[in-house]
A and B are shown apart, each in its own frame.
Chain A
């Protein structure tokens, strides 16, 4: 177990270097001059421009810039935005919002996904099952931005149940609608996965044996069907948490949520290379750690998994 965890942590290292290098290179190679963007496209005194380039190390070759960046990253100095703010401070402001959104979305998809999935799986072929199946298919088929705008319009504007956009501090209650939109597609997948898993396990030999032992129906379902069925679902949810924590550019954009997705999107548009690379580096780490947690959790749930 310890060896397994350690090895997985060691695997983080090449992933981290690979991802940061790739992202750094992409930002480096992006057409457009950040210094020119800084001045709003107006001509700038050559001395000022040179000084600015030197300040952000933009006059150095790629490898030197990357090396400097890594050095700063290790010392937790993520650099500054062009407006002079510390990138770390900007991220620290945006991340809690995204984390809150992600947790709410995950809670939403877990609770309803497992609930509907279990009921549908146990009543396979009945009305509830068919309805849920069709509905989940519809949700999967519609792109998030359509769902987002439609819900924003109907729930936020026409019905007025929620604020159509989120205010600066992004309180929990205002994040409900974005969280639902964000979790909706995953909800559909969780339902389908749970349903398939349940209906498959219902026919398992050990479930029949459990019934033959004289257990009540309820106990058979809860102890023998549910736990086994939830193993793949939890794997999916864990991976999804990693994805959600990476921010949701589309959803955050629609509801104007000041989260990490929005920050990244704006940084890409303005060529803020320091911010982009810092955010992506963090996201890579978050994603890999989330997957590690899933693997460990999987092994806890299923004793047959060996840590190798």
Chain B
């Protein structure tokens, strides 16, 4: 086996000198978990080992489907109904609870082992007040005395919820995501468990909120001397928060040990890949400087060409001959293709008694994007960045301001001109599960824009689809498959191929990689960079993740509360951020403080 040294480490998870440390709080030995599915048994976890000492933070890192959550959930008997422990042992505080009775497990839950789940939006029962949901935790574990109301407020306040007594009377939908996660942390720690399982506790939150919540969780668990089993897909975050790392891959623990050591010296090939591609640790724009220079030289050599309608017609003619090529003439780099001036969008919010209040989602935003470059718009959710993207796509009419595409005002475009605009500006959206029609096979998905724009005949279109699939490194056999048969990363490749079908000038990526696992994310970003180099594409890249920005963008616009707060080249933003908000965003990148 390649990862020999890694597996050696696994076999000796105990400290070398017993007696120095006390008894492990949680010990998982040779754990195997099997799911019974329609397709037979699936071995989700095999031979998993891990040890958590009292008060220690251990992180399990791995991509989705690696079995990291399954392993942790097995410890409190929360496997889905078709899953079961098929081998190995789970020892909690010296007691083998692998096959403990339901009664015993219920005793342990909440009291001895708490949990903070992943998605704050779906983990609170929408029909009960927050206070009720905290109180029943105390009650179930025999901790609700006569002053339970005060205790609930106390617990919520500890978790960092302001006005806890008032907040306790509210329903989950009246809380923001960060507040809900605080409520869930309050619930998880309410009964002072000795072990807290934190299953991706912040992956659904904005980076800055993420940092605050993790800091708070750190402080609380240190104070209470609670051991934490942190499950995350983010290596940077894990390394920053945990003393020990356990890396899981395809249901197996491939490496474990002290966090920094693994980061500096990853032994297993998977860990190496993970360390190399972790966005929070990558430091340079993905594209090689050489390629950039070459492109710039090519651009300088060619005269700047603005495509006239005549050219479009010519292209169509070419397409009809079945020679639709995806390779464009090297376009002039450096010329402004998309210019946004004083863009403002006001939404009317429905208030009580039929009154409406104005909400400025985008407030006087101006920036321009040069051909062949990538402009990233960064901001937290609610900063208005996606609204800008929608207006740039002409899917939403701005309240004020103008959007100039190739010198033409986009707002006033109608009919044929709008149709042509649509062809030249294409979107890629966040959710690769939601943005592909599940009833369309891949061929139809990619062919549709060509058909709508009446490009080529059936034969030339098929050729084009093959070409596009090839460009995004998907086999042409994919054509007959349906979106549900593909993984998230593969779907996003299809979405990219679909966006490329019309040879657009500009691609607007609205959180195009944020739903993907790190490794897949890195692949997709690489692909986008290569395509840019090859086709001279211009990207407007909307993201909340500064780590991603570093890998793809040339220029960055930082948005906060609808306004543009900082605008500079990527290097400037990272090396010398001017605004406090940008600095906050930067320091919130997990692993930003790590020195490796």
* Most chain A CB inside 10 Å of its own CB: which residue of B108, B115, B171: B115
Contact residues in A for B102 (Cβ distance below 8 Å): 217
Binds B, one of A39-47, A184-192, A203-211: A203-211
Q: Is B125 touching A224 in the complex (CB atoms < 8 A)?
A: yes
What is the chain A residue whose CB lies nearest that of B350? A308
What is the chain A residue whose CB lies nearest that of B136? A215
Minimum Cβ distance to chain B for residue A296 (Å): 16
- A223 proximal to B (CB < 8 A): yes
What is the chain B residue whose CB lies nearest that of A205? B122
- With A206-B125, A224-B125, A228-B127 in contact, do A214 and B110 touch (Cβ < 8 Å)? yes
Q: Is B117 touching A213 in the complex (CB atoms < 8 A)?
A: no
Contact residues in B for A211 (Cβ distance below 8 Å): 78, 109
Q: Is A302 touching B136 in the complex (CB atoms < 8 A)?
A: no
- With A209-B187, A212-B110, A308-B350 in contact, do A303 and B127 touch (Cβ < 8 Å)? yes
Contact residues in A for B137 (Cβ distance below 8 Å): 213-215
Q: Is B184 touching A212 in the complex (CB atoms < 8 A)?
A: no
* 8 Å CB contact of B115 from A203, A209, A224: A209
Minimum Cβ distance to chain A for residue B502 (Å): 40
Q: Is A206 touching B122 in the complex (CB atoms < 8 A)?
A: yes
Minimum Cβ distance to chain A for residue B3 (Å): 33
* 8 Å CB contact of B140 from A3, A207, A219, A228: A219
Contact residues in B for A71 (Cβ distance below 8 Å): none
Contact residues in B for A217 (Cβ distance below 8 Å): 102, 106
* 8 Å CB contact of A219 from B136, B141, B353: B136
What is the chain B residue whose CB lies nearest that of A214? B110
Q: Mark B94-125, 1 if CB is under 8 A from A, else 0.
A: 00000000100011111100110111001111
- A36 proximal to B (CB < 8 A): no
* 8 Å CB contact of A228 from B111, B126, B141, B184: B126
What is the chain A residue whose CB lies nearest that of B138? A213
What is the chain A residue whose CB lies nearest that of B124? A206
- B559 proximal to A (CB < 8 A): no
- B348 proximal to A (CB < 8 A): no
Give Cα A204 to B128, complex, Å.
15
Q: Mark A203-246, 1 if CB is under 8 A from B, else 0.
A: 11111111111111101000110011001000000000000000
* Most chain B CB inside 10 Å of its own CB: which residue of A210, A214, A223, A304: A214
- B248 proximal to A (CB < 8 A): no
Contact residues in A for B123 (Cβ distance below 8 Å): 205-206, 208-209
- B537 proximal to A (CB < 8 A): no
Minimum Cβ distance to chain A for residue B475 (Å): 34
* 8 Å CB contact of A213 from B80, B109, B126, B128: B109
Minimum Cβ distance to chain A for residue B129 (Å): 8
Q: Is A302 touching B350 in the complex (CB atoms < 8 A)?
A: no
- With A209-B184, A219-B140, A308-B350 in contact, do A204 and B122 touch (Cβ < 8 Å)? yes
Minimum Cβ distance to chain A for residue B54 (Å): 20
Minimum Cβ distance to chain B for residue A80 (Å): 45
A271-307 interface (Cβ within 8 A of B): 301-304
What is the chain A residue whose CB lies nearest that of B117? A209
Give Cα A210 to B140, complex, Å.
10
What is the chain A residue whose CB lies nearest that of B111? A214
Q: Is B140 touching A213 in the complex (CB atoms < 8 A)?
A: yes
Q: Mark B339-366, 1 if CB is under 8 A from A, else 0.
A: 0000000000010011000000000000
- B552 proximal to A (CB < 8 A): no
- With A219-B140, A303-B171, A304-B173 in contact, do A212 and B115 touch (Cβ < 8 Å)? yes
* B interface, CB within 8 angstroms of A: 76, 78, 80, 102, 106-111, 114-115, 117-119, 122-128, 136-137, 140-141, 171, 173, 184, 187-188, 191, 350, 353-354
* A interface, CB within 8 angstroms of B: 3, 203-217, 219, 223-224, 227-228, 231, 301-304, 308
Closest CB pairs A-B (n = 8): A214-B110, A214-B109, A212-B115, A205-B122, A213-B137, A206-B125, A303-B171, A209-B123
| 20 CB < 8 A contacts A-B | A203-B80, A205-B117, A205-B118, A206-B123, A206-B124, A206-B125, A207-B125, A209-B117, A209-B124, A209-B187, A212-B114, A214-B106, A214-B111, A214-B137, A215-B137, A217-B102, A219-B140, A223-B136, A227-B127, A303-B126
Q: A210-B125, A214-B106, A215-B140 are in contact. List 17 more A-B contacts (CB 8 A).
A: A206-B124, A207-B125, A210-B136, A213-B187, A214-B108, A214-B137, A214-B140, A215-B106, A217-B106, A223-B128, A223-B136, A224-B128, A227-B127, A228-B127, A303-B126, A303-B173, A304-B171
